[in-house]
Structure formats: C-alpha cells, structure tokens
Amino acid sequence: MIGTTVSHYTIIKSLGSGGMGVVFEAEDTQLGRRVALKFLPEATGADPLALERFQREARAASALNHPNICTVYAIGQHEGRHFIAMELLEGRTLAQSLGSQPFVPAAIVNIGIQIADALESAHAKGIVHRDIKPANIFVNPRGQVKLLDFGLAKFGGSTGDVNPQAETRVGQDLTTPGTAMGTVAYMSPEQARGQLTDARTDLFSLGSVLYQLASGALPFKGETDAVVFEAILNRNPMPVTHVNSAVPETLSRVIEKALEKDRELRYQSATELRTDLFRVRRDLDAKATAAHPAGDTPSGGAKAAERSIAVLFFENLSGVKEDEYFRDGVTEDIITELSKIRGLNTFSRPTVLAFRDKPVTPAQIGQQLGAAFVLTGSLRRAGTRLRINAQLVDTRTDFPLWSERYDREMRDVFEVQDEIARKIAEALRITLSPQEQAAISAKPTENLQAYDLYLRGKSYARRLTQQDLEFALQMFESAVGMDPRFALAYAGIANVCAQHHYRHGSGSGWLDRARDAAEKAVSLQPQLPEAHVGRGWVFYANKQNDEAVTEARMAIAQKPDCEGVYYMLGRALFAAGRYQEILEMADEAVRVSGSDYNIYVPIINALKALGKTDSERHMNVRRAEALETHLREVPDDARARMQLAITFASLGRAEEAMREANLATVMRPNEPTVLYNAACTFCMLARKAEALQALKKAWDAGFKDAVWARRDPDLAILHDEPEFERLYPA
C-alpha cells in the first residue's frame, strides 16, 4: 500500500503488524501532519467480533483526551478495509524494552504514575482497558508514556459496576459469562475466572507490569496458560525486594497492594495508586538530595542522577566479527576510566551489557537506567589505523553535549581513552583532582600488541572450557612476554591456570604456575582487583576456601563489578558450607555479574541445600532467561548450553533439557565440566544410569573435585551409589 492515498492520507511506509492490525505511517494532506493508519487485517475483516473490537478501540480512545493515551483522529474505510487514523508515536513499547535486567526504581515510579494517570481518566468515563500489558504501553524518547489498544475495553465499567447484563451482551462487551478476556500473564484473578470486571482489574494488571519492571521477571509464570491461571488465583509472587535489593520497601508495598487477589483489598482507584507512587517518588528524591546536597553537583543542587553516565558498547564498524573482542575491551576500559572520577556515577559493564548491539536511543537508556547522560560511539580499525567516534548525549533533551572523531594510529588508543574521560568530565563541569588525573593517565601497558593479546585472551577465558582456557593462556603468556610488567595479563594467567587445575586435572604444575602469576600481579599492582581475583582462584583450587573468600572481598572493595569475582566468592562459600552468606549476597551478585551465567550455579545450589524450593525455582527462571540471551549472542558456548539443560530439567522441561544436553555433548564430547553438568541433568530427570556414565566420563576427563560433587544437591540420587563413592570418596 506504499504510495496509496486513503481518504486524505498518503501512505509513506509500513510500521509493522500484529494480531489486531497492520500499521502504516501516512501524511494527512489536509493538515500537513504525519499520522499512523491502523488497518484491520483482511483475514479478520469479515469477523463481526474482530470488527467490533477494532471499532471499540477507536471509540474508547477518541472519547479520552489525555497526554498519556494515544490520540485517535478518525475512523474510516478504504476499499472495504476498516482503518483508524491515530497519533504517530516515536519510541518503543515496554515489551520491546524489557529484558532480564530490572528498571531502576525512579523509572518504574515515573512509568507507573503516568499509566495510573491515564487509567484515572479512562475509569472516570466508565472505560476499563482490560488488557494492560507491556506491549500496550509505549514510551517515547522523552520518557512520556502512551497507553495503546483499547480493543478489549469495557464501557460503563467503573468501580462497583456489577450489572450482569452489561457483561453478557456480546455486542457491548465482546464476551460472555465465564470467558477470560485479556493477556494471560497480566490478568487479574477475576479475569482468570471469567467473572465481572471493573476498574480494579486494570490496577491488578498494572501491578503485574510494575512487578516485571522492578524484578526483570513476570510475577506469575508457567509453561501453559492453565499453570499461569493457577498461579494468578492461588500463589503470591516473591516480594520484589527479595529479587532486586535496589527496590525500596515503599515501592514493593505499592506493587504488593496492586497485586492483591481479593479486589476489595486491592487499590480501589487509580487515583489512590497514583498518590502512593507520588509518595515513593518524593522519598526517592529526598534520598538522592540527601546523598548529594547543594554544591556537590555540577548544577549546584541537582540530584545524584545529574552526574550519572551509561557508556554503551561502541559499534564495531570494521565488519570483522573477530574485532568484537577489541571493541568490547575498549568500551570496558572507558567505563573503568570514568569510574575513577569520584564526582561521576558510572554504570557498570554488566548493567550496560544488556544493551550491546541493541537499537536503543539515549532517551530510552535514560528512562530504563535513570542515567542523565549516555556515551555512544563507534570504532573501526584497519591495519595500524584506528578511528573512534564518541558522543556524549543528554538523555532528557537528546542534545549532544560533546562529540569528537579520533583518527589515530593504534598505538594511541590509550591516549584516546584518556582524552574521552577528560572531555566528559569537562563537559559535565567536574574538576578532576590530581589523583584522579594520575589514575586516568595510567596505562595498563606501554605495549599495544600486548594489550591486544590480553583483550583477545580475556574474551576466551570467560567460557571456562578446557580448549578456551588453553587459548586464553597462550594470549596472556604472549602478552607478558612482550611486557614483563603487565599486571593484568599476569592476573589472567593466574585465573586460567587455577581454573585449569581445578576443572581439568591437577597435573603439569598448573597450580604452581597460577600461584606464581598471581603473586607477580600483586607485586606489580598491590591494589589491582583482578590480581586478587586471580589469587582467590589459586586459593580455591587449593581448597583454601576461607582465604579465597578474603581475596574476593578485597577485590569487591576495590571494584564491585570486577569480572568473575562473585562467581569465585560463591563457589568458595559453597565449598565451605556457608550457604546463608551466598543468599545474602545473591541479589547484588546477579546484578553486577551481567552476562556471566556462572553466578547462578552457587546461588541455586545454596537454595537447594537450604530447601528454599520456591526461591530456587524463581532463580532458575532468571537463569534460563540469562542463558537464552547469552546463547543468542554466542551459540557455540557448549558450557552455557549444558547449564541451560540443567535449568530446563529443574523447571520440569524434560524434552528441552535433553535437547540442550545432547547438543552440548556433541559440541564438546571430552569437556569435563560439560560432562559433569550432563550428569546433573540426567539426575534431575531421574536417569540414574546415564548420570553415572556421564559422571565417570567427567572424572576421567579431569573433574575430580570431591568436595563440590558431594555437596552438589543435583547429584543427590547418586550419593549412595558405590560408583559415586569410588569416584568421589569422602
């Protein structure tokens, strides 16, 4: 239909399609403005109920004039097809913005207030939306919310409306008694039962949306609609504060009240809910102001967020997949440089990792993270030449405060990182102390080739399989060969050698090599967090768990998001039987570990050991989401596939568990950790013979950690087997 004239609208391009419509961008030739034209799909045009729902959307929205509701201009027909002309929106739906990472509290409250305000207006006119969900909530680049799709709206449905006739007239309500209307995961209990609905139904659905924003997961989950219905009717979700410690109790209580199953105990009006959210926002503002009083920010009395920055992963323009490690390394180093500035709140690598290579705008990042500024950029290298483009953008105005293009030799990459950090501080009117200037100027190494090898090695060391660890070791050892004072590379050697000793056998002096490298790193840079992580792995591999915990705590004190530190800490605590300590750090560990799916292993094992079944299931749902996200980026990560197999088995998804387990073992048939985790998967599926066979192969391949195997609750059904006792004696 591109180029077609419909009434006085000229269609320009397609914007997408869904079950209830195909949407085009068009120009209103009479008023000279751009609009969105939504056409009822041809396949459903003859369905009277679909047409009624389509027209109902137009009638409901056109009856409402509110800044948080998408405006409908007109309704018409073209060649037998019905269409609605409506406000053209820029931005994304919440469904497109959601991920496994929760939104920051300030953003949640801001979104909740705007939705409640829209619902207050709709309910006052007797209109109940009945399909509040992330896909129907649009957020524009300025953070303004627009409520969409009133196709399931009920008219005359204010609080207390109990007119059965209004509920049973199909022409009026598009439903019949006992029919559930809406999207299952966000339904209220009364919708799930097919009962009468009123305004409080929308408030329950809004509570489900706020829960998902605050936790990164749905409040009511299941493999089938029936399971979800059962959860909505009979189960309470885990309190948000147990999932995300950053959420204040006041916000958690608002969400819990919105999710009351008894609607007489739920919020009785959108006004009441909105008022409580305003109170939460006031408390958040007061807390931010107290933490950063007047004179402590660039603008004199601004809040902490006024100096917060998210550094998005630079775009790799070289077109070479192999350059991804270099792009990631440069971006991470810029984050590290900026984090040295005391007056600047820099979001950690794991926090921004969720947005890598995603089509997000600075305004969307500001809305989701609460960041005042975003650093975006691109990187291209060709031979010895390097081009970096960088731009600092104000998320509230979408206005660039600073931008620069650097055409340099590769050897100048550290100077470019240094200059970017200084220019950002200057743009935000932050005066650097002499100590901060010195810290920013410090280089990890004077040898660029050594730095390149280190970044390449680090990208492989994250996978932990034997083949990847050995390749990473080659890179790190080549790096220190070029620069014998490269502390980060020595820390990398300590890490991979200790991991190799622990995971793949104790021969060939792996532990001695790890210990020597760790001590060298610490002697070169005593305060280097990565050096303490390396030394911690040495202690852990040598079964000195308390010492490993001490090293982990030292690294966290210096750099809370230091890569792999919480995983090492969790394993050491689990091996020492300190399960409760693992749970106390679990939320923070998951938050700062980003894409490191390994962090879930000690946490879930601790939950199992303590018999916390509901919490364990919830954590497994989060782990499944994290692993599936990771595997979309790195499909050949066999260890991640086997972790996903274990997770599916824990959730009762046996067929999917076997699929992933078989694929992982085909990819890496001799990998000890893959084989060990295959045994765990088979145990959870009650396939004892296959579990013992896989465990024997894991032992032969090098996994000989009796302490871990005997504590591992996944292997519980094997613990009394003679073969298990022979392999892993007490």
Catalytic residue positions, numbered: 131
Is the alpha carbon torsion for 678, 681, 685, 686 positive or negative? positive
Helix (H, G, I), strand (E, B) or coil at 452: helix
Can you say how many angstroms the Cα of residue 549 is from the centroid of all Cα atoms in its chain? 27
SS3 236: coil
Tokens of 142: 């300025």
683 and 721 in contact (C-beta within 8 Å)? Answer: no
**Plot region of 183 (φ>0 → left; ψ -120 to 50 → alpha; else → beta):** beta
Cα dihedral 97, 101, 106, 111, rounded to 10, equals: 30
Compute the distance between CA of residue 377 and CA of residue 312 in angstroms, rounded to an integer: 8
Q: Give all strands (DSSP E) within 221-270, no chain letters.
A: none
CA–CA dist 373, 363 (Å, integer): 9
Give the span between the Cα atoms of 62 and 340, in whole angstroms: 52
Element (H, E) at 492: helix 487-504
Residue with tokens 């966290």: 556
Largest CA distance in the chain: 85
Strand partners, 39: 22, 83
* Alpha-carbon radius of gyration of the chain: 28
> Are 570 and 604 in contact, with CB atoms under 8 Å apart?
no
Determine contact, residues 179/233, Cβ cutoff 8 Å: no
DSSP state of 266: S
Q: What does the alpha-carbon distance between residue 529 and residue 371 come to, in Å, rounded to a whole number? A: 26
CB atoms within 10 A of CB 629: 16
Sequence-distant (6+) residues with CB within 8 A of 528 are: 487, 488, 491, 521, 522, 558
CA 553 – CA 560 distance, rounded (Å): 9
**Three-class DSSP category at 499:** helix
Q: How far is Cα of residue 58 from the mean position of the Cα atoms in its chain?
A: 35
Query: Angle CA(205)–CA(208)–CA(212) in degrees, nearest 5?
Result: 145
> Distance between CA 120 and CA 122 in Å, rounded?
6
**Is residue 342 classed as helix, strand or coil in its secondary structure?**
coil
The single residue listed with the structure tokens 């926002």 is 281
Distance (Å, rounded) from C-alpha 131 to C-alpha 149? 8
Give the closest residue to 95 by CA, choosing from 130, 57, 136, 132: 136
Residues whose CB falls within 8 Å of the CB of residue 438, separated by 6 or more in sequence, listed in order: none
Q: Which of 341, 328, 329 is nearest to 424 (CA)?
A: 341
